[in-house]
Structure 1
C-alpha cells in the first residue's frame, strides 16, 4: 500500500461545494476510466464508475454511472450516495456521513462514519481491462452492517447524454441473471457488460431514475440533465475482515481476488522505476524530491494507453487529457519525455514513438485520432516537428541507435516532404529556408480554437515557434545521421539557412519577436 499524499477531512468532505469541486480519476491503460466527485454526486457527463474503451484507446462508452448506496447499522439507515436533481433537490446527502477522503496511490478511498462504525469504499480499475472494482470494508463496528447497492447503468458515448424522459419504457435493456450477478445488454449489437458481487445477493430491476442535475455541464453552457437505469440491487451483510467487492466489467469472468494487491504492486513497480532513474541522475545521493512528486509519477502513468495495431497489439499511445481528449500528436510528442523517460519507462517511450511513426502520412504526424472509424486528422504543422525533439530526448536517454536506424528513412522523408510541400500549404520557402504553413479555414498550430468554420487564430504564414521547431528538426536529423554514419551535410546546410533568416522574426522597435511573418496580404 502507498501512503496517501492527498487526504481530506470533514472540513472538505462535509462541505458539498468544496467536495464537488474536488474530483477523482482512475484509468485502465486502454483509454477507459472512472471518475467523479469527492462528494459522490455526478456533476459532469463524464462522471461514472465504468466508462469503457470499447475500441482502445477510444470508443469510450458510459456503462455504469454509479451505485446508489445505503448502509443499515445500529437500527439506523445511513445514505452513502449524494445526488443532485433538476428541481434543485439534493437527496440523499451521503456526503454528510463522509469522514475522510484520501488517495492510496491512485486509488480513491472514502471513509464513512456511521454511528460508532467506520466503513471504507475504494474504487480502482484493472490495468488493461474494462473492469472497475468497488470495494467496501468495515473498519470498525460493534454489530452487523447491511449494505444495499442499486446499480445505475447506461449505454452511451461518453460525451453525449441520455434522456429517457416520458418514453422511458421504450428503451428496455436485457438484464439477465448470471453467476454472482447480472449481465446487461443495452440494445441489439451492444457490448454486454456485467454487474457482479460474489458475496452479495442480487435482484434484477428495471426502473429509470430521471433528471439527474449536472451543474458542471450547465456552467459550460451545455445540456445539464440526464437519466440512468436502475438495473439491479445488491445486498450484503458486512463485518470486519470480510469485504464486499462489486465488479463492473465487459468481461464475464472478471474476478476480484487479489486485484487490489495487484494494483498496489503495479504502482510500487512504477515508483521503483522512477526511483532507480532518479538515483542514476543523482549518483545515489539521498533523494531530495518532495512527496507530491511521487503522486505525479503515478498520475503520469494514467495518460499512457494501448493503441493495439495489427503489427503490434501492445502498441502504446498517450491520451492528451481526461476526460474528453483522445490521443493527439502534439500533446504526445511534447509530453513523452516527462511521462516516460523521467519516470524510468524508456521501453514505453520507444513504443509510443514507433506507434506514431506508423501513422505518418504525407510527411505529417496526425494531429488527433477521432472517435469511431474516422481516419486520423493531419491539420498540424508542429506535431511532426515535436516528433524530432521527442526522438532526440529518447536517444539522449538510451543511446538506442537501433531505433534511429529504423526511423531515419522516415525522418528524412518528412524533411523532404516539407521541402516539396505537405497538406495545408505546409512547405519550405526556398528563398529563406523558413517554413510556411496554413490555409483559410484550417488551424495548424497549437492555437487551434475553431468555432464552426471560423478559425479564431489562423496564423497563416511563418509562425515563430514552428520555425524554431523546424530549425531544431534539421539539427536533429543531422545529429541522427552522424550517429548512424549517414551524411549530415544536407541537413546542416538547411539548418544554417533557417538560422540565418530566423532573425527576420525580431522586431527591434517592439523588442520582441513577431508571432507570424509573411502572412497573407
Structure 2
C-alpha cells in the first residue's frame, strides 16, 4: 500500500487505543493558528481541534472553531462511520479507528482506511499564513458506487473554555460555492466549509452531548462539553478521484482549484525523513508571523511568545539550520520589544515577560551565537548598537530588578515573584523562590560582560568596554568565591547568609558559556556532578534525587503538578547546554557519548507529539513525556547540539 516512511504506524498500533490515543499530531500555519489532535483523530484535550485560530478582536487566546469532521463511507445503503469520540464511561463512538490500516506523516498526516472493498486515503494540510485547513480524501479502490458524508462538529469557543448546549447558538447558515458558511456567536468570524465539487448539504442541527477529554481529566480540570453539528455534506466519489474539504474563515472563490492548492502546499513541505528533518519541521511550527512582526511561540498548544524562551531558542531554531533571514526577522521584532522595555514605553508587540532580569542577558547570548554561527563583523554591524544599549542599560543599574553590586555580581529579588525559568507559582508565590545572587544569572552576566568587550572593540565604545572589563574582573573572582562550594559544585543561589545547596542544573551554564569565571578543573567538577545526579535519557533533572523535596512525577491536578514542575522533572533544553559543556571539556572524545544521548530523543519522535519533543519528562523511569506537546526550547537546543556535532565531525 505504501513504502516505509520514518513516521509510520500500522494497523496493530492504530486500532489499539491505549497505544494510539497518547500520540498526538500538530500542524500550524506559522501565524498562530493550528490543528492538533491524536493520530486517530479523537480529540483528548480542550486544546484539540481541526481549525484553532487566534481572534484578536475577541481576546488574546486561541479559539476552536471546527473541532472535528466525522466521515462516513456509504455503499449499497450501508454506512461506515470513520469518526471517533470519547463519551462517559469510557465509551468510544462511532469507533471508526477499527477501519484504519496505516498512518504516516512524512510530508502531511495521512491515514489509510479499509472498509470492505473500499480503500480511502485521508491527508491533511494547514495552509501557510492562512487560517485554513484542507483535508483531501482519495478513493484508492472501490468496487461499486461510493458516497462520502461529512459531519462537522463546531465549538466556537476559547481553548480555555468549553461549549455546552444553549439556545443562544446561531443555527443560521448561508450557502456559498460548494458549501456553507456559519458563525455560532457574535464576534466570531464566519466559518466557510466548502468542497472542491458540487455536493448536497443537509441541514440537520443537533448537539452531541457529553464528549469527554481524558487529558483534561488527568490534569484535574473539567473535561466534557457538547458540540454543535449543523448537518452534513454528501458527495459522490469515484475510484481514483480526490475530494478536498476546506475549512477556513474566508471563502474559497475557486473551489475547483482546491486540489491544486492542496498539492502546492504539500510540495512546500520538507519530508520528515529523519531525526533532524523532523526537528526542522517542528522548529518551523513555532514561527508566528503577524503582519510585519515575527515571533517565536514558546510551545503548543497553550504557550504564547515568552521573551526568555524566544532568545534561548532562536539560535537553535534558525541559525543551526541556516535560516539566517528568519532569525533576523524575529530579532527585528525582538529589538523593538527590548527598546520599548528599556525606555518604559507601551508597545503593541506581543512579547511577554520582558521584565525578568535574565531576559536581556539571554538576548546578548543570542547575539553572541549569531556572531559565532554567521559572522562577527555582520553581528557587529547588525546588532552592535543593540548590544551596546543593553549593556549600558544594565551596567548603569537601570533594570528595575537587577542591581550590580560592588563585587561585580548581579542581585535580583525573587521571593515575591518567580523571576527565573523555574517559574512555577502557587497562590501567586514561587514554588521555588530563587533570590539574591542567582547562579545562571551571574553566569550569563559574566559571559555578557566579556563578550561585549570582545565584540565592540573598535566600535567606538571604549568607555562601555572599560566598564564591562572592570566589572567582569571583579565578578569573575566573586563568582567563584560565592558559588563554588567544597564539594565541587555550584550553589543555586546565595542571598546574604542564606544559600541553596540543592543540586540543580542551573550551574551548567557556567561550564557551557563561552566566557566563564570557572577554570577547566572547576568546569569538569560541575559537569561531573550534573552527570552523576541530574542526567537522564530525556534531559537534566531540575533537582537531584539526593536533595530534599525531590518530586519527579509531573502528574495529577494543577496544584500537584505545580509543586513537581521544577522539583525533579527532566528538561531536554538544559541537556543542550550540558552537552555543549561536555564537548568543551572532552572535545572529540565526547562525540560518541553525545550521539548516544540524542538517541533517546529520536525515540521520542514517535511517542508523544509525532515528530516533536514535549515540554518536560518525569525524572524517574520510564521518563514519560508531560506538559505541552511541542516545546520550543527543547527542539531548538537539540538542533543546536546537532549543529555542534557537525562542527566537531568536520
Residue in structure 1 matching 2:196, options 184, 195, 198: 198
CA contact (8 A) 2:39 2:103 kept: yes
**Residues of 1 paired with 2:90 and 2:189: CA distance?**
35
CA RMSD of aligned residues (A): 2.7
What is the DSSP-based 3-state SS (H/G/I as helix, E as strand, rest coil) of the residue aligned with 1:77?
Answer: strand
Query: Given that residues 29 and 128 in structure 1 are in contact (C-alpha distance below 8 angstroms), is that contact kept between their aligned partners in structure 2?
Result: yes
Spell out the pairing of 1:207-356 with structure 2 (5 A cutoff). Answer: 207-253=206-252, 255=255, 256-268=258-270, 291-308=274-291, 313=292, 315-356=293-334
- TM-score after normalising by structure 2: 0.70
Q: 1:456 to 1:423 in 2, by over 3 A?
A: farther
Q: Which has the higher strand share?
A: 1
For 2:388 and 2:203, how far apart are their aligned partners in 1? 61
Partner-residue secondary structure (3-state), 2:328: helix
Question: Counterpart of 1:494?
Answer: 471
Partner Cα distance (1:333, 1:362) in 2: 16
Give, in whole Å, the separation in 2 of the partners of 1:322 and 1:520. 41
Deviation at 1:507, TM superposition (A): 3.9
- 1:438 equivalenced with 2:413 (yes/no): yes
- 1:199-250 residue CA offsets vs partner (Å, 9 max, x unmatched): 1322344322111011110000001101111123111111233211110001
Q: Which residue of 1 aligns with 2:134?
A: 133
Query: Deviations along 1:79-104, whole A, 9 cap, x unmatched?
Result: 21111112432110001111111103
Q: Does residue 359 of structure 2 align to residue 358 of structure 1? A: no
Q: Contact 2:242–2:259 at 8 Å: present in 1 too?
A: no
Partner residue of 1:511? 488
Q: Closer, same or farther in 2 for the Cα pair 1:328/1:173, shift >3 Å? A: farther
Segments of 5+ residues of structure 1 without an aligned counterpart are: 272-289
- Distance in 2 (alpha carbons) for counterparts of 1:87 and 1:358: 52
Structure 2 match to 1:73: 75
Per-residue Cα deviation, 1:112-143 (whole angstroms, up to 9, x for no partner): 11112210111111000010011111112222
Alpha carbons 1:74, 1:115 under 8 Å: kept? no
Higher mean Cα deviation, 443-452 or 229-238?
229-238
How has the CA–CA distance of structure 1 residues 170 and 55 changed in structure 2, closer, same or farther, with 3 Å as cutoff? closer
- In 2, the alpha carbon distance for the partners of 1:458 and 1:497 equals 27
Q: Give the TM-score taking structure 1 as reference length.
A: 0.87
1:391 aligned partner: 367
1:194–1:412 Cα change, 3 Å? same
Partner residue of 1:101? 103
The aligned residue for residue 180 of structure 1 is 178
Counterpart in the other structure of 2:50: 49
Asked whether the 8 Å contact 1:20–1:37 carries over to 2, the reply is yes
Does 2:449 correspond to 1:474? yes
Q: SS where residue 384 of structure 1 aligns? A: helix
The farther-off stretch of 355-364 and 112-121 is 355-364
- Distance (Å, rounded) in 1 between the aligned partners of 2:386 and 2:487: 40
- Residues 58 and 140 of structure 1: is their aligned pair in 2 closer, same or farther, counting only changes over 3 Å? farther
Inter-CA distance 76–3: structure 2 relative to 1 (3 Å threshold)? same
Q: Give yes or no for contact 2:82–2:95 (8 Å, CA) kept in 1.
A: yes
1:461: Cα distance to partner? Answer: 0.5
More displaced stretch, 290-299 vs 146-155: 290-299
- Look up the SS of the partner of 2:32 in the other structure: coil
Give 1:459 deviation, angstroms: 0.5
CA contact 1:145–1:237 (8 Å) conserved in 2: yes
Count the aligned residue pairs: 488
Say whether the 8 Å CA contact 1:424–1:442 is kept in structure 2.
Answer: no
**Aligned-pair distance for 1:260?**
2.6
- The aligned residue for residue 632 of structure 2 is none
Task: Select the structure that is richer in helix.
Answer: 2
Structure 2: how far apart are the matches of 1:422 and 1:458? 23
* Structure 1 position 408, deviation (Å): 3.0
What's the offset of the Cα at 1:329? 1.2
Q: What corresponds to 1:380 in structure 2? A: 356
What is the SS of the residue equivalent to 2:149?
Answer: strand
Matches of residues 116-195 of structure 1 in structure 2 within 5 Å?
A: 116-164=117-165, 168-195=166-193
Matching of residue 451 in structure 1 with residue 426 in structure 2:
yes
Kindly state the Cα deviation for residue 182 of structure 1 after the two structures are TM-superposed: 1.2
- Is the CA contact 2:194–2:252 (under 8 Å) kept in the aligned structure 1? no
**Aligned counterpart, 2:404:** 428
| Deviation by residue 1:137-192 (Cα, 9 ceiling, x = unmatched) | 1112222221111111121112221123xxx2232243222122111122223222
Q: 1:53 touches 1:130 (CA, 8 Å); kept in 2?
A: no
Distance 2:474 2:261 in 1: 58
| Alpha-carbon distance, 1:339 to partner | 0.9
Q: Tell me how far 1:353 sits from its aligned partner.
A: 1.2
